[in-house]
């Protein structure tokens, strides 16, 4: 299994044309990791998956306050999932009141993944990069799992710390809109980058982006990193192969 393009963080189940999109991704050879935001959505997403589109078992930090009781279900389903996401922490003003509860849930998620071994996680870290890295360091050493930081906006020092912890970064086109995002992307090592759309939450040309836009994301990032598009696209597939533990393993889970 060798895809042409990588979308490592997308919410395919939130599109009305969900089923058609899954088929299109296979036709276009786009490897898509599709997030679930609650463990209740897992089985439906898993059943619709195909060779290219794989589901991740998630528990979104923005939903933890109202759904803390679903953690038991998440734990129960973990043996069925190799990919985990969207999980993490959100210290933005809207969700800060649940930050302690989020930390407790995220610690248990990381610990369960470390105990199981071999999981690949897509991690949210809005306004709390340092805390997220600290928790990864404490609960999920690199030999027990792979952490992919989604839309990471930490400082230069935090990028270095994440690299030292063997994390990957899934990068989207919205990050190019701010100077801070562009400065961050400039510091990312080429062999640690994956691409994502985070659709449908990001817009391109006034409409919700979807995985078919990944070539546009790759071209924009290649330009930013001052590297040829073909060369960058090949590097991304290489990074993905490494992050998922070999392309042939991708479709098994």
Residues found near Mn ion in the complex (CB under 5 A): 86, 198
Beta strands, E only, the chain: 5-10, 30-34, 53-55, 83-90, 119-126, 145-150, 168-171, 193-195, 203-204, 207-208
CB closer to Mn ion, 7 vs 198: 198
Q: Is the preceding omega at residue 86 within 30 degrees of 0, hence cis?
A: yes
Least separation in angstroms between residue 162's CB and Mn ion is 18
What does DSSP say about strands 53-55 and 30-34: parallel, antiparallel, or unpaired? Answer: parallel
What whole-number distance in Å separates Cα of residue 47 and Cα of residue 49?
6
| Nearest approach, Cβ of residue 155 and Mn ion (Å) | 22
State the minimum distance, in angstroms, from the CB of residue 190 to Mn ion: 24
CA distance 130 to 115: 23
- Structure-block tokens of residue 143: 């030999």
* Lookup result for tokens 């898509």: 32
- Nearest distance in Å: CB 231, Mn ion: 28
Q: Which is nearer to Mn ion, 90 or 158 (CB)?
A: 90
Rg (CA), the chain: 17
Q: Is the CB of 8 or the CB of 222 nearer to Mn ion?
A: 8
Name the residue nearer to Mn ion (CB basis): 7 or 86: 86
**Are the C-beta atoms of residues 179 and 154 closer than 8 Å to each other?**
no
Cβ of residue 86: shortest distance to Mn ion, in angstroms?
Answer: 5
Of residues 38 and 249, the one with the C-beta less far from Mn ion? 38
**Minimum distance, C-beta of residue 124 to Mn ion, in the bound complex (Å):** 7
Residue 86 or 213 having the CB closest to Mn ion: 86
**What token pair was written down for 164?**
């030292």
């Amino acid at each position: 299994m060798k895809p042409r393009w990588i979308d490592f963080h997308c919410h395919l189940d939130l599109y009305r044309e969900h089923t058609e999109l899954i088929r299109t991704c296979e036709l276009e050879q786009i490897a898509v990791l599709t997030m679930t935001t609650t463990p209740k959505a897992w089985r439906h997403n898993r059943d619709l998956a195909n060779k290219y589109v794989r589901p991740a078992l998630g528990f979104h930090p923005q939903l933890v306050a109202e759904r803390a009781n679903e953690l038991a279900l998440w734990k129960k389903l973990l043996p069925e999932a190799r990919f985990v996401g969207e999980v993490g922490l959100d210290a933005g003003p809207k969700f800060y009141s649940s930050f302690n509860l989020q930390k407790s849930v995220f610690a248990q998620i990381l610990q369960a993944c470390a105990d199981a071994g071999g999981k690949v996680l897509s991690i949210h870290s809005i306004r709390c990069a340092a805390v997220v890295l600290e928790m990864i360091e404490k609960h999920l050493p690199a030999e027990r799992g792979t952490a992919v930081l989604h839309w990471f906006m930490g400082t230069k020092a935090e990028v270095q710390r994440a690299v030292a912890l063997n994390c990957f970064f899934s990068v989207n086109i919205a990050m190019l809109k701010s100077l801070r995002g562009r400065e961050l992307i400039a510091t990312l090592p080429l062999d640690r980058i994956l691409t994502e759309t985070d659709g449908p939450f990001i817009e391109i040309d006034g409409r919700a982006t979807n995985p078919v836009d990944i070539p546009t994301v790759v071209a924009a990032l290649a330009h930013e990193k001052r590297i040829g598009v073909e060369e960058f696209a090949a590097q991304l597939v290489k990074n993905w192969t490494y992050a998922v533990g070999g392309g042939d393993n991708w479709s098994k889970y």
